[in-house]
Amino acid sequence: MAKLKIVKIGDSTLRKCCRPVDKITPRTLTLLDDMVETMRAANGCGLAAPQVGILRRIVVIEVKEGEVIELINPKIIAYSGEQTGEEGCLSVPGRAGIVTRPMHVTVRALNRHGETVDYTGSELLARAFCHELDHLDGKLYIDVASEMLD
């Protein structure tokens, strides 16, 4: 495994739409592993492939230690409720903002074995799903923040 470089705001990669993963290859699996290592080393709870300069629809999330969620080609299929709270981003260091997101979110994606899986999360996990999937479409939390706290 390798720690990857996290691209920062201002890098055009963060504003581009990612391509779907057509085939899960050994390279895809290495990327998933490297993204988890990178996210943990940066003390984050989520990381999307464009944040490490790769325009593919891949996300890793770990809001509970040891419970990594790997999402390939994820889509939000259901959401409900509302929560407003503070968000930050590994690609926007030193800043935070207030963002309103759904309270409950269900995501459908492929796992590392190519199987379709659904994950439902509330509170922080729901927020992480929305935040990380936004990255896949070139959106940052600062685009939807009602207030910046810096």
Task: State pLDDT tens for residues 28-53.
Answer: 999 999 999 999 999 999 999 999 99
- What backbone phi and psi angles, to 5 degrees, belong to 31? -60, -45
pLDDT at 142 over 80: yes
* Both structure tokens of 47: 């990381």
CATH of domain 12-148: 3.90.45.10
Q: Where are the domains of the chain?
A: 12-148
Average of pLDDT values for 85-97?
A: 97
CB 121 within 8 A of CB 128: yes
Strands (DSSP E) contained in 65-115 are 67-80, 83-89, 92-101, 104-110
Distances (CA, A) of 73 to 8, 40, 123: 23, 22, 22
Catalytic machinery residues: 132
pTM, entire model? 0.96
Count of beta carbons in the 10 Å neighbourhood of residue 79:
17
Give the torsion sign (CA, 96, 100, 105, 107).
Answer: negative
